[in-house]
Structure 1
Amino acid sequence: MAYQIIPVTPFQQNCSLIWCEDTKQAAIVDPGGDPQLIQSAVTNAGVEVSKILLTHGHLDHVGAASILKERYQVPILGPHKDDEFWLSKMAMQCQMFGFPEVASFAPDQWLEHGELIDLGSLQLEVRHCPGHTPGHVVFIDHQHQLAIVGDVLFKGSIGRTDFPKGDHPTLINAIKTQLYTLEDSYRFLPGHGAMSSIGHEKQFNGFTR
């Protein structure tokens, strides 16, 4: 898998452009804002966007999803249906985070735990990892030992659980059962900040030890 991290929004959320190097089929993961910046990255990479993937429903991860759906005429996949609460309350989120108004929307497909998403010759496994939000999912490329984990796990930290429907014990359980069961060599792209590896976090992340 080839990828490019595109920090967007005042929260510097890691939107990820991922693609199959064999076919140049690409997906935009968590387009939280700055759609022109994301479009420029797509053009510069010379790839063809075939889908938009969402890890969860928070505004800084989904704010430009509808714009890019129309721009590329592609479906939005994810998150899990338990995040319908967040996607249906865009106005509340815009007010909460001080963002320009974004219309509520629903994805073309809610994702379930264990589903497989094809992207050219790549395949991503969907794992449901609730806690930060109830419908949070992560995407795992086992062939290249790379995971896209949204706001579940960060380098040296974990997702916050003080927003509505967040739950700390549920988040810790998701990390330990869905991410820490991966081999230590797996790397991950978090929703904010630098990349890390599963092994590094298992050993040094004080929030999960």
Structure 2
Amino acid sequence: MISDRHAWTRPELETVVPGVHRLPLPLPNDSLRAVNVYALAPDGDGPSDGAELTLIDGGWSIDESRDVLARLLTGIGAEPGDIRRFLVTHVHRDHYSQAVALRRAHGARVALGAGEADSLETVRGRDTGLDAQIVGLRRAGAPELSAEIHSWVAAAEAPPADDFTDPDEWLADGQELRAGGRSLVARETPGHTRGHLVFVDETSAEGPMLYAGDHVLPHITPSIGFEPAARPGALIRYLSSLAALRAEPDRLLLPAHGPVAPSVHERVDELVAHHDKRLDEIAAAVEKGLPTAAEIAGALRWTRREHRLEDMEAFNRMLAVLETDAHLEVLAAQGRVTRTSGEDEVFHHAPS
């Protein structure tokens, strides 16, 4: 039985406003459970009037997802072959890969933020998309976890390269788009990934809306900088992106994971408060003499269930250690800690 918290994951069509439909697609064996794609169909009547049917995000390229997508589209009088364009928020498999697969099958065009080009090239050129994270764990003082993740990735099946080919169109910050009879603006919101985009609809008769991808999620804190071509400074970029959205008028939040929510501002305030609290906790750990991200992560509690690091599976321990290191980068930029590395290339931290 699905709890109220996860009711949004039911594979049922939801009409958010006329012409905008939320389609939850399954993510089997993933803690996220589902990903929302949004179908923009003029007048809510599907593609019958000849206008283009657009999907924001595409889902994961697996049979179960394609079957659910096909079934849900019938609710607006459409089928996968009617999709003419995908506007993808970022390059992760649950957003990008099915868009590319449906392009192969039906000829739809795929658009993606220009900042994702390096990650696409990286995932196509390597057996794993976690090389940067494996190095990051070593530099965070977690060599055993780094080796564990390396072994896990080496045994896993590589993602199909065909599902990570380049898009038909690279989108730029501020680019204006027509989609499903609506006017949207693509906005760069780096942090979750460097090339992450959100799509803003300020012209809707129902009020302004934000298709937020993984940038602002109503129930969980987005992972930061988890991408094949990861670079330092991801949390700094993320907090700046949140501040930019907070400075603008409020909007209806249409997230990739979780239910539609009435206020972007309310959730941004909660996310900023979470990171401020985490920064203070990590600064206090440095004050107590813990020098590395790995040691500090081991002293913190994780998720809303307050797990200890050692009680979590390897993948989530990796995310926790890397998130701690990202917060240490911010503290160093704020001058609250010093951050140095020696011959072992491990980052060590001390009070400023």
Q: Which residue of 2 aligns with 1:159?
A: 222
Structure 1 residue matching 2:36: 3-state secondary structure: strand
Confirm whether residue 140 of structure 1 aligns to residue 222 of structure 2: no
Deviation at 1:35, TM superposition (A): 1.9
Aligned pair partner of 1:82 in 115, 118, 134: 115
Q: What's the % identity of the aligned pairs?
A: 21
Deviation at 1:170, TM superposition (A): 0.4
Q: Which residue of 1 aligns with 2:174?
A: 114
Aligned pair partner of 2:72 in 41, 44, 55: 41
Q: Which residue of 1 aligns with 2:21?
A: 3
* Contact preservation (8 Å) 2:37, 2:57: yes
Q: Which residue of 2 aligns with 1:64?
A: 98
Q: Which has the higher strand share?
A: 1
- Amino acid corresponding to residue 58 of structure 1 in structure 2: H
Which has the higher Rg, Structure 1 or Structure 2?
2
Q: Could you list the runs of 5+ residues in structure 1 that have no partner in the other structure?
A: none
Q: 1:130 to 1:72 in 2, by over 3 A?
A: same
- Amino acid corresponding to residue 27 of structure 2 in structure 1: T
- Amino acid corresponding to residue 9 of structure 1 in structure 2: L
* Contact preservation (8 Å) 2:20, 2:44: no
Deviation at 1:192, TM superposition (A): 1.2
Q: Which has the higher contact order (CA 8 A, sep 6+)?
A: 1
Cα separation, 2, equivalents of 1:14 and 1:120: 17
Cα separation, 2, equivalents of 1:26 and 1:143: 18
- Amino acid corresponding to residue 4 of structure 1 in structure 2: R
Higher mean C-alpha deviation, range 103-112 or range 23-32:
23-32
> How many pairs are equivalent?
205
- After TM superposition, the score normalised by the length of structure 1 is 0.85
Deviation at 1:127, TM superposition (A): 0.3
Cα separation, 2, equivalents of 1:151 and 1:203: 16
Aligned pair partner of 2:57 in 2, 25, 30: 30
Structure 1 residue matching 2:128: 3-state secondary structure: helix
* Contact preservation (8 Å) 2:54, 2:180: no
- After TM superposition, the score normalised by the length of structure 2 is 0.53
Q: 1:22 to 1:155 in 2, by over 3 A?
A: closer
Q: Which residue of 2 aligns with 1:124?
A: 184
Q: 1:71 to 1:40 in 2, by over 3 A?
A: farther
- Amino acid corresponding to residue 14 of structure 1 in structure 2: N
Q: Which has the higher helix share?
A: 2
* Contact preservation (8 Å) 2:25, 2:59: no
Taking the TM superposition and a 5 Å limit, the aligned residue runs for 1:47-58 are 47=78, 48-58=82-92
Q: 1:182 to 1:19 in 2, by over 3 A?
A: farther
* Contact preservation (8 Å) 1:147, 1:188: yes
Deviation at 1:23, TM superposition (A): 7.0
Cα separation, 2, equivalents of 1:59 and 1:74: 18
Aligned pair partner of 2:253 in 168, 181, 188: 188
Q: 1:5 to 1:120 in 2, by over 3 A?
A: closer
Confirm whether residue 18 of structure 1 aligns to residue 58 of structure 2: no
Q: Report Cα offsets for 1:27-65 as digits up to 9, x if no partner.
A: 122212212221222233114422011101111211212
* Contact preservation (8 Å) 2:58, 2:99: yes
Aligned pair partner of 2:264 in 198, 202, 206: 198
Q: 1:8 to 1:93 in 2, by over 3 A?
A: farther
Confirm whether residue 172 of structure 1 aligns to residue 239 of structure 2: yes
C-alpha RMSD of matched pairs (Å): 2.5
Cα separation, 1, equivalents of 2:184 and 2:114: 19
Cα separation, 1, equivalents of 2:129 and 2:97: 10
Q: 1:16 to 1:22 in 2, by over 3 A?
A: closer
In the TM superposition, structure 1's runs of 4+ consecutive aligned residues that sit over 3 Å from their partners are 22-25, 93-96, 98-101, 202-205
Cα separation, 1, equivalents of 2:83 and 2:242: 30
